[in-house]
């Protein structure tokens, strides 16, 4: 019996490990699959609710690392995860995505000569000011199996000199979760709860430090939303980092009544809000992909994306951080000038099956 430990740390990890865990259940005589939660995200609404929505078991290990500077958080995950690996001696660990827990755990495993599989390998924004880009580069450099979600990943890894026999184009595991839970999302009461009409509201999410850590830019963003709220309702589930900065910038109850600020929303309800939005304005990586799969209009408020397929074939538009351009694009979309898209190759709900079949 082989032992595999998958790592989750932050919100975007949960929907990637859930389908992998389910797929491993088919091989329960051959593989013992365990889950380690580093505790990078710890609020109920950033973590526990996702375990419930995604029907994941309680993690087998909880490291309780919490927040801190990049060095503190990464180092604390390393110290705690090393204890788990020394005690458990797994044959392989699986890390997903690009968060601090991803790089921390891969580094610990590589030093202990434990094989590392990276799911969502090869994505590159080519912007090294993003902490995630550093995490991606380092994780890919030391992984033994690199599972790629879109073709740009194959090119990037080749250009970085990664041995091609370690690289596998398997598709997008997060889309497995989306496809699986769409019927449940269709029964969600999220739209009624916020008095929203399908296709008649804008969904906003923003949490990148580059967008929300500057008081001035955050104020400009809120002015943009005030302008758009004159035309459409806006629902904006607020990430803890953004919440803190909005509070510091003095935002409270005095916003336009068409702007609904909420706490972070669970997986199923958020999927319902994504599917039915007329427009999404975001700086998230995952939401660029989910909107592309669902054919929902998406404006990304960033200057680059590590997920270029969503722009090349999907409904995503990478508009940058000039907010006049964002406003113009949003108004064009709201008046019917939309971008048609297709679903990228192998985003078919079977990625976790491909990964587990290969690993078994």
Instruction: Give residues in contact with ligand UD1 (CB under 6 A).
Output: 10-12, 40-43, 46, 67, 73, 98-100, 131-132, 207, 239-241
User: Please, are residues 133 and 306 in contact by the beta-carbon 8 Å criterion?
Assistant: yes
Distance CA 24, CA 60 (A): 15
Catalytic residue among 33, 41, 207, 239: 207
Closest C-alpha to 96, from 158, 28, 209, 11: 11
Distance CA 9, CA 49 (A): 14
User: Please, are residues 291 and 220 in contact by the beta-carbon 8 Å criterion?
Assistant: no
Name which of 37 and 350 has its Cβ closer to ligand UD1.
37
**Least Cβ distance, residue 226 to ligand UD1 (angstroms):** 25
User: Which stretches of the chain are assigned E, i.e. beta strand?
Assistant: 2-8, 31-37, 61-62, 92-96, 115-121, 145-148, 167-169, 201-205, 233-237, 259-262, 279-282, 298-300, 316-318
Other C-beta atoms closer than 10 Å to the C-beta of 217 total: 17
**Least Cβ distance, residue 102 to ligand UD1 (angstroms):** 8
User: Please, are residues 283 and 296 in contact by the beta-carbon 8 Å criterion?
Assistant: no
Name which of 98 and 140 has its Cβ closer to ligand UD1.
98
Name which of 37 and 239 has its Cβ closer to ligand UD1.
239
> Is 207 part of the annotated catalytic residue set?
yes
**Least Cβ distance, residue 287 to ligand UD1 (angstroms):** 10
**Least Cβ distance, residue 72 to ligand UD1 (angstroms):** 10
Name which of 5 and 287 has its Cβ closer to ligand UD1.
287
Task: Give the catalytic positions in this structure.
Answer: 207
């Amino acid at each position: 019996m082989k032992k595999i430990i998958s790592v989750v740390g932050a919100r975007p990890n949960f929907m990637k490990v859930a389908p992998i865990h389910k797929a491993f259940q088919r091989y329960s005589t051959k593989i013992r699959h365990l889950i380690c939660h580093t505790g990078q995200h710890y609020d109920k609404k950033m973590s526990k609710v996702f375990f419930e929505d995604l029907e994941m078991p309680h993690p087998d290990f909880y490291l309780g690392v919490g927040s801190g500077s990049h060095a503190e958080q990464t180092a604390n995950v390393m110290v705690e995860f090393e204890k788990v690996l020394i005690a458990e001696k797994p044959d392989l660990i699986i890390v997903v995505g690009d968060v601090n827990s991803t790089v921390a755990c891969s580094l610990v495993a590589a030093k202990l000569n434990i094989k590392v599989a990276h799911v969502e390998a090869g994505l590159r924004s080519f912007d090294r000011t993003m902490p995630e880009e550093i995490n991606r580069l380092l994780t890919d450099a030391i992984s033994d199996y690199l599972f790629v979600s879109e073709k740009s990943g194959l090119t990037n890894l080749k250009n970085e000199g990664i041995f091609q026999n370690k690289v596998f184009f398997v598709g997008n595991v997060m889309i497995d979760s989306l496809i699986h839970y769409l019927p449940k999302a269709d029964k969600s009461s999220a739209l009624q709860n916020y008095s929203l009409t399908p296709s008649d509201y804008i969904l906003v999410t923003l949490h990148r430090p580059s967008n929300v850590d500057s008081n001035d830019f955050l104020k400009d963003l809120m002015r943009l939303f005030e302008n758009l709220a004159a035309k459409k309702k806006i629902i904006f589930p607020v990430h803890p980092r953004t919440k803190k900065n909005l509070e510091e910038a003095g935002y409270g109850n005095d916003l336009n009544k068409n702007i609904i600020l909420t706490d972070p929303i669970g997986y199923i309800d958020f999927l319902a809000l994504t599917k039915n939005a007329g427009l999404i304005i975001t700086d998230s990586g995952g939401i660029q992909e989910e909107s592309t799969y669902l054919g929902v209009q998406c404006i990304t408020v960033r200057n680059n994306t590590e997920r270029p397929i969503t722009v090349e074939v999907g409904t995503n538009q990478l508009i940058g951080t000039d907010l006049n351009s964002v406003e113009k694009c949003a108004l064009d979309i709201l008046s019917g000038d939309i971008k048609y898209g297709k679903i990228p190759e192998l985003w078919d709900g079977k990625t976790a099956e491909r990964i587990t079949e290969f690993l078994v």
